[in-house]
Amino acid sequence: MARNLIELHGITNRFGTQTVHEGLDMEVQEGEVFGIVGGSGSGKSVLLRTILGLRRPQAGRVLLEGQDITQMQPEPLRAAKARYGVTFQHGALFSSLTVRENIQLPMIEHLALPPDVLEGLALLKLRLVGLPESALHKYPSQLSGGMVKRAALARALALDPKLLFLDEPTSGLDPISAAAFDDLIAYLQHELSLTVVMITHDLDSIFRTCNRVGVIVDRGMVSADLQHIVDHPHPWIHSYFHGVRASRYLPTTGASHGA
């Protein structure tokens, strides 16, 4: 049985009088692609920041590989953050740095490597995500949206993490580019033995890449594999997975059709 790389127990996040999450539980198993979905205002990005150790919840624990990061001091937390890679919705590349410099940034921060090794590793990561060598010397503003996503992914893989977080990885991409990016994620997950947590609203990405899905509803989370989550009776979940866009997937998941 696969072990849990991520465990959330009783997470509560509040902003003033507004409670976004209350008693939220979540588990992510080693080697799976876990999708997180939810309606607007459900706190998907807040949850991601909590998991990444960028926000401390009002209550609850976040365990990464068994370590509770909610109680960590800055230096151990910094070391824990080096064990995962993350891409944010709009790439979040540094506009004043070239792609090469963006990819090398985590290496320079956490590793003591000579310049020639840094150069070789940057090229290796670039090729891993399907970008040409010429992209190394370009700035983010000179790249297409799809190339920015891939460059950000190369930076996320800079330290050879086994845990990868993706925030809306296909947002803003045309259907062909989005499908190619989904295929890339599936390929890298398999080849690098990655565990992937992906926040997305893209049903195509969910059905192409995810093993299980966690849906944020009523300030908590409902998790299941695809076959069972589409049949969950919660009104929001049913509406999400039984709309027109999802109908073509339902016969292949073994799920019943809904209105």
Q: Which of residues 253 and 21 earns the better pLDDT score? A: 21
| Residue located via tokens 């940034």 | 105
| Residue located via tokens 């940057």 | 122
Is-above-0.85 flag for pTM?
yes
Residue 258 DSSP label: -
Closest to 127 measured CA to CA, from 169, 195, 187: 187
Q: Which of residues 89 and 209 earns the better pLDDT score? A: 209
Instruction: Name the CATH superfamily for 4-83+162-253.
Output: P-loop containing nucleotide triphosphate hydrolases (3.40.50.300)
Half-sphere exposure of 250 (CA within 13 A, CB side): 17
Per-residue pLDDT tens digits for 170-192: 998 999 999 999 999 999 999 99
Q: In this predicted structure, which of 37-46, 141-150, 246-255 has the lowest mean pLDDT?
A: 246-255
Q: Write down the H helix ranges in the chain.
A: 44-51, 74-81, 99-110, 115-128, 145-156, 175-191, 203-209, 226-229, 235-241, 250-253
**What is the DSSP code string of 62-89?**
EEETTEEGGG--HHHHHHHHTTEEEE-T
Arithmetic mean of pLDDT over the chain: 91
Per-residue pLDDT tens digits for 45-55: 999 999 999 99
Residues of the chain with CATH 3.40.50.300: 4-83+162-253
- Is a pLDDT exceeding 90 seen at residue 234? yes
